[in-house]
Amino acid sequence: LTSQIAEFEQQIKSIRKDKKSTQAEVNKLSRLIGKRRKLVGEVNSQMIALNSNISSLTRQIDRLTAEREQLQAQYADMVRVAYRNYRQQNFTTYLFSADDFNSATRRIAAIRLVNDARQRKVHEIDSLTIQLDSARKVLDAEKVTLQDTRNRHNSELKKLSANERDYKKRLSTLSSREKKVLKAQQEQRRELERLVNSTRQSKGEAKIGGNIKDNRGRLPMPVVGGRLKPNGSDIAEITGAQGAQVKSVFNGEVMRVTYNRNTKSYIVLIGHGQYFTTYSNMATATVKEGQKVTVGQAIGSIGRAVDASGRTEYKLVFGLFAPNGDTLDADQWLK
């Protein structure tokens, strides 16, 4: 049970690590989506301004075109009138009806001036129309570019949003898994506490000398050459070499020895007065129920396990229980 509790703890650590990295990705994607949406908004604003400019230029071109057509019509009328007058000799009559030569000259100049003015106006309108049309073409090209940019941003936005949904879904799945593993771990803890309590009730207190509660922080490492593996749990994990001996941390009495067929490992419970220590994930157990043990006495060897990354390791799962059945922080009791 202590071994399973420790395994659950490893799973929880791994899940929380994945949750942390997944949440970081979600936050990163959210920031990118925000920036991308801002870019799309800026492009839309530019397109609104561009469309306004295009509409303004189009109105100017339409106005100039109408004015040009009007001038051309007036010029054509003038040409027709001049031709008709010429055919009917009205033009000659108009000139020779002048009082003198200077007046006739002024009349000729006035006719030419009106004609030239209309021609210049037509040319000016044509030139301005060409410029406006050229400017509109430039704006149309810019509009196409902006549309392409907006489409690209929207495409990226869709991809980012899809990735965000995937990560959020994964985060939800991890949270669900975490809840299930936590629930399973709590059930195993309660089962272990029931086992310790039932052992205490059926066999009473172990008759030993000294008191383990006076040795907080001074209990020896239960694995020869072992190292504490930080796991954030009250249950300690101690790694060591393959086949390393497991030793009792204090004088006591072996209250129970069980074999777990699922994990193919032994669990040894040793009573120390009102306190209990548990030794799980043992490959072998060399003690029997009811046997008295002394501090440092070998009780078996550590078993094989797999760490969170899938690598093989050899470890003992060690637990310490108070008289009320609560799990104590085993790390703080070992020296």
Note the pLDDT tens digit of each residue in 287-326: 999 999 999 999 999 998 877 666 788 989 898 888 877 7
- What mean pLDDT value characterizes the chain? 77
Number of helical H runs and strand E runs in the chain? 4, 10
What's the rounded Cα separation, in Å, for the pair 10 and 2?
Answer: 12
- Tokens 């949270």 found at: 175
pLDDT at 186: 63
pLDDT at 231: 73
Q: How confident is the model over 264-281, as pLDDT tens digits?
A: 889 899 988 888 898 988
Cβ-contact 273, 212 below 8 angstroms: yes
Q: How far apart are CA 230 and CA 101, in angstroms?
A: 120
Q: How far apart are CA 128 and CA 147, in angstroms?
A: 28
What mean pLDDT is predicted for residues 112-126?
72
Strands 236-239 and 265-272: unpaired
pLDDT at 83: 57
Q: Which helix (H) or strand (E) holds 247?
A: strand 245-247
Q: What is the pTM of this model?
A: 0.47
Give 71's contacts (C-beta < 8 A, 6+ positions apart): 118, 121, 122, 125
pLDDT at residue number 177: 72
- For the segment 203-207, the average pLDDT, to the nearest whole number, is 49
Span 180-192, average pLDDT: 64
Chain centre distance of CA 74: 70
- Domains within the chain, CATH numbers bracketed: 2-178 (1.10.287), 205-333 (2.70.70.10)
Token pair in block for residue 165:
């949904």
